[in-house]
Structure 1
Amino acid sequence: MKTFLFPLFGAAAVLAAGAANANDRYAERPPVVVSPDLSAPWVLQLGHAPGIVRQSRQEVQPQRRYRRLAEPDQLRTAAVQAPAKRMVMRPQIDPIYLPQEVAYDGPQKPGTIFIDTRENFLYLVGKNGKARRYGVGTGKPGFEWSGTHKITNKRVWPDWRPPAVMIKREAAKGRYLPTYLAGGMENPLGARALYLGSTEYRIHGTNQPWTIGGAVSSGCIRMRNEDVVDLYERVNVGTTVVVL
């Protein structure tokens, strides 16, 4: 009987020692390594996007990790830099399209949004001959329009339901759009949307900020996410929007 028990107690001791060594090995957890691929321009956008983003089958990109910034002030001021050896180069926006205060002597009343589609600027008219100016992307050839509307709705991280005519038009080009895309970092409407009248046009953010300053949209007014968040906080439903 003693001969039979000895191997069992010996094996138990070996297992206990092995468990202790394993616990010692992981007593200090290894540091978390964050991917350095943080250089894409759209990292400077709000986080906490609702819903699950479903990408188009034709546009699935390799998954990357991005840093998300939760507060609007961080969104406007933070800069994220990646190591040079991993930096992903993107076209840079012309500084002329960054927000700035300018003189304004036009006919629009203070509080009005005025959009110059020829120069690709959006003006929020202020008092005392001043206006806050933002760079925008406007309708590409064949999609230009003008008119006056009121802001009828405001949405945070809006979802996207492309019109049937757009889905058909893009399919003819071999680009297949989803019928629905939840709000989020990959959504082309970006962080905020201001809906114009009863039209399908919006002033909205973008996940392609390098396109600002060009004729690039299907009629919507496109802004950097940082800028549309700023504008969103300054205007209310009922604000007049003049597009020329």
Structure 2
Amino acid sequence: MSNSPTAVRSLTRRRFLSLSAIGAASVGLSACVSDQTEKPAIVSRPAPKPGPVQYNSMYSAVVDAGYDIPAVPIEKINPRYYRQEVADPTGERPGTIVVDTANHFLYLVLENGRALRYGVGLGRAGFEWAGRAEIKYKQQWPRWFPPAEMIDRRPELEKYRSEYDKANDKWVGGMQPGVSNPLGARALYIFEDGKDTLYRVHGSPEWWTIGKSVSSGCVRMLNQDVIDLYTRVPDGAPILVTSGLRTV
């Protein structure tokens, strides 16, 4: 475990859904959109050390599972949020995901004191959260199931209201996968003590939200970045959400 002085609280959420009321049936639901619009593995694969041209390639348009992901206009994003290998500021063991909410960074801890750093978008005031949990499972091109409370706040989402099919143990309804889906190309589902927190690490088509706090608590990544992270992180990987790590 880290010896960081950063205080770590049990995973919490403010003004949102009560986990005790949700129970096991919550699997599949997610907020993960702005209300304004909407055994850990040892990671040994080295990250690229790109120059400007390689960044263009890193964030170029790509076809993934038949979906056309557009290029990211990287010239409009602060370069600090580009995917890059850095000295690890977390002190966590390799294979751990660490989200630094103060700086809008997500780190994947590597070996030998290194980490991969990605820029992220985070929850706005009132939806902040922190603590230790795990990535219970991952999904490519997931459906989005907005919680009923969100739909009540935003009636235009009514068409995506979902119902839990107990007989088949699954949710029906929601938004079909696609580039415009708020969960993007990949989703990593965050559980604490075996319960779905309803928080996700996920892709987003809204590149302009990277480095900002606009979502309902989820961790947004560029689709090209979340695809990269997905290939490196196994089910059961630990995740720590904290604040104020010293940036390098």
- TM bin, normalised by shorter chain, reads 0.5 to 0.7
Alpha-carbon distance between aligned partners in 1 of 2:61 and 2:183, rounded to the nearest angstrom? 15
RMSD: 2.4
Q: What number of residue pairs does the alignment pair up?
A: 167
Instruction: Report what 1:157 is aligned to.
Output: 141
The residue correspondences of 1:83-232 to structure 2 (distance < 5 A) are: 92-171=76-155, 175-177=156-158, 178-179=160-161, 180-197=174-191, 198-232=196-230
TM value normalised by structure 2: 0.62
Structure 2: give runs of 5+ residues left out of the alignment: 1-58, 162-173, 243-248
CA distance in 2, matches of 1:90, 1:98: 8
CA gap 1:192/1:91 in 2 versus in 1, 3 angstroms: same
- Greater Rg over alpha carbons, structure: 1
CA distance in 2, matches of 1:45, 1:115: 26
| Higher strand residue share | 2
Tell me the alpha carbon deviations over residues 111-139 of structure 1, each in whole angstroms, 9 at most, x when there is no partner: 10000011000000111111000000000
Paired residue secondary structure (1:205) = strand
Out of 231, 234, 247, the residue aligned to residue 233 of structure 1 is: 231
Q: TM-score normalized by structure 1?
A: 0.63
Query: For residues 204-234 of structure 1, what are the alpha-carbon distances to aligned partners after superposition, in whole Å with 9 as ceiling and x for unaligned?
Result: 0001112111001100000000000000000
CA distance in 2 between counterparts of 1:233 and 1:206 reads 17
Structure with more relative contact order (C-alpha pairs < 8 Å, separation 6 or more): 2
Is 1:44 aligned to 2:25, yes or no? no
Task: Return the offset for 1:48.
Answer: 3.6
Change (3 A) 1:125 1:163: same
Larger helix share, 1 or 2: 1
Distance change in 2, residues 1:105/1:215 (3 Å): closer
What are the ranges of 5 or more consecutive residues in structure 1 without an aligned counterpart?
A: 1-41, 51-67, 70-74, 81-88
CA distance in 1, matches of 2:89, 2:74: 36
Tell me the CA shift for residue 91 of structure 1. 8.6
Seq. identity, %: 49
